[in-house]
């Protein structure tokens, strides 16, 4: 239980840190690209301003021909494409690497599979008259390459980081789970000790009540009438103590025994049904078990029978007279599927996740009146999990409930039994 808690904590830790890592890298890349784009735009705007005085205007036509003949200063190495357009957007001149002959107003990004560049265009005036545009374009190839390099480096580092985080997570989750584990063992010991301590006084009360009844035949009628109440309470208390001791034993790794026997689950279910048939008849509830496939599973017969009887007891408790309870068993190849459905009162949706918790009861008074302790389903779940199976529940308020249990076929489970 705690081993799986530790692995679960480690898994969540690694999963969450991986998500944080992936989001951080993705945001880093995004920020890097955004910042580089901003810098390129600034550089293009500065360049346009620097070039503006060098533009010669002849007959209202702007030109950089003369400037392009001159030896250039260091920043103008022609990594940029410089274009001059007329006021209607017709390309007049192009200097530097070949660019796309389209005038884009303001900043623009050209992005296609082969080419990725930023473009900046600004109008040129002679006095107040618009005589054309200068447009500068710079390829983002280098920036893209740096960003890809960064992404690849982070991806290469990721498995090492995850491995390190996994190891750290495993150590820390072990430390975090330790106090919970200790607390749980203290509680378990307490439950087991309290159970043992309580069994003796319960047995003494029962023996004395019986002796009183036997030795005092003339006991006042009203006092005699109280004896059944005492016996019922003793029964309830004894069952409760037994259930608590069973639960604490099942969850203690020390008392785990490998008791895997091959057994015919179909036969086991049929026996449990037959044993309870009379009780159902008394309550005028029909108990049907027509489809029980012969399925052999590995497990412990006594605890598996407890699963079936607990589920049947619940079906009986929470189904009104005239109802029907149906038991089915199928062989699904890799799993055995046991279903117990009733046409009873059903369970409200908000209670469904809680019914396997200890002492949880939807309707305390109904459960108590029927002799329930709220431990039945916790025991069922613990036994099923010890057999590496799982239990599911579906219910509709007022219509009925179906419990479905899956047992793996062919594995050797660790089962737990009270000694």
Least gap, CB of 373 to ligand ADP (angstroms): 5
Rounded Cα distance between 107 and 195, Å, is 80
Q: Which residues contact 103 (CB under 8 A, 6 or more apart)?
A: 83, 85, 89, 91, 121, 133, 135
The H-or-E segment that residue 4 falls in is helix 2-51
CA 332, 335, 337 angle in degrees (round to 5)?
Answer: 75
Least gap, CB of 348 to ligand ADP (angstroms): 9
**C-beta separation of 147 from 158 below 8 A:** no
**C-beta separation of 162 from 18 below 8 A:** yes
**C-beta separation of 417 from 300 below 8 A:** yes
User: 111 or 288, CB closer to ligand ADP?
Assistant: 288
Rounded Cα distance between 196 and 185, Å, is 16
Least gap, CB of 252 to ligand ADP (angstroms): 20
Least gap, CB of 263 to ligand ADP (angstroms): 24
User: 224 or 390, CB closer to ligand ADP?
Assistant: 390
The H-or-E segment that residue 310 falls in is helix 301-317
Two structure tokens written together for 159:
């498995």
User: 121 or 247, CB closer to ligand ADP?
Assistant: 247
User: 344 or 413, CB closer to ligand ADP?
Assistant: 344
User: 10 or 319, CB closer to ligand ADP?
Assistant: 319
Least gap, CB of 384 to ligand ADP (angstroms): 13
Partnered with residue 134 across adjacent β-strands are 84, 122
Residue 25, classed as helix, strand or coil, is helix
**C-beta separation of 315 from 325 below 8 A:** yes
Residue 417, classed as helix, strand or coil, is coil
Least gap, CB of 257 to ligand ADP (angstroms): 25
User: 173 or 401, CB closer to ligand ADP?
Assistant: 401
Rounded Cα distance between 349 and 376, Å, is 19
Least gap, CB of 318 to ligand ADP (angstroms): 3
User: 20 or 354, CB closer to ligand ADP?
Assistant: 354
User: 184 or 360, CB closer to ligand ADP?
Assistant: 360
Least gap, CB of 315 to ligand ADP (angstroms): 5
User: 51 or 375, CB closer to ligand ADP?
Assistant: 375
Q: Estimate the share of the chain in helix, then strand, then coil, as percent rounded to the nearest 5.
A: 55, 20, 25
CA atoms within 13 A on the CB side of 321: 3
Burial 159-172 (b: 16+ CB within 10 A, else e): eeebeebbeebbee
| Binding interface with ligand ADP (CB under 6 A) | 314-315, 317-318, 342, 344-347, 355, 360-363, 367, 372-378, 401
Least gap, CB of 400 to ligand ADP (angstroms): 8
Residue 242, classed as helix, strand or coil, is helix
């Amino acid at each position: 239980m705690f081993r799986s808690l530790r692995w679960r904590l480690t898994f969540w830790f690694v999963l969450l840190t991986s998500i944080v890592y992936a989001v951080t890298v993705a945001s880093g890349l995004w920020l890097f690209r955004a910042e580089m784009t901003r810098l390129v735009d600034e550089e293009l705007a500065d360049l346009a301003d620097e070039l503006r005085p060098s533009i010669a205007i002849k007959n209202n036509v702007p030109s950089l021909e003369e400037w392009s003949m001159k030896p250039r200063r260091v920043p103008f190495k022609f990594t940029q494409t410089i274009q001059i357009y007329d006021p209607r957007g017709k390309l007049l001149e192009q200097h530097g690497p070949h660019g796309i002959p389209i005038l884009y107003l303001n900043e623009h990004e050209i992005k296609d599979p082969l080419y990725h560049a930023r473009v900046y265009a600004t109008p040129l005036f002679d006095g107040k008259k618009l005589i054309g545009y200068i447009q500068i374009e710079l390829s983002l190839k280098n920036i893209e390459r740096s960003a890809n390099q960064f992404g690849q480096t982070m991806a290469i580092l990721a498995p090492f980081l995850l491995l390190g985080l996994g190891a750290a997570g495993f150590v820390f989750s072990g430390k975090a789970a330790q106090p919970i584990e200790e607390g749980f063992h203290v509680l378990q010991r307490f439950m087991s000790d309290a159970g043992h301590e309580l069994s003796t006084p319960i047995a003494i009360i029962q023996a004395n009540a019986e002796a009183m009844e036997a030795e005092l035949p003339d006991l006042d009628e009203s006092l005699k009438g109280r004896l059944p109440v005492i016996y019922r309470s003793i029964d309830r208390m004894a069952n409760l103590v037994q259930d608590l001791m069973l639960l604490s034993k099942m969850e203690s790794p020390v008392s785990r025994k490998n008791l895997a026997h091959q057994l015919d689950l179909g036969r086991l279910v049929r026996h449990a049904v037959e044993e309870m048939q009379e009780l159902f008849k008394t309550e005028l509830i029909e108990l049907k078990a027509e489809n029980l496939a012969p399925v052999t599973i590995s497990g412990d017969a006594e605890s598996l029978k407890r699963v079936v009887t607990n589920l049947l007891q619940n079906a009986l408790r929470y189904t009104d007279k005239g109802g029907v309870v149906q038991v089915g068993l199928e062989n699904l190849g890799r799993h055995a599927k046991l279903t117990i459905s009733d046409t009873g009162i059903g369970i409200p949706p908000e209670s469904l996740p809680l019914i396997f918790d200890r002492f949880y009861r939807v309707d305390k008074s109904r459960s108590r009146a029927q002799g329930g302790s709220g431990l039945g389903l916790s025991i069922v779940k613990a036994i099923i999990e010890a057999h590496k199976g799982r239990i599911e529940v579906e219910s509709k308020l007022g219509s009925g409930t179906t419990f479905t249990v899956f047992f793996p076929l062919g594995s050797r489970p660790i089962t737990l039994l009270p000694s």
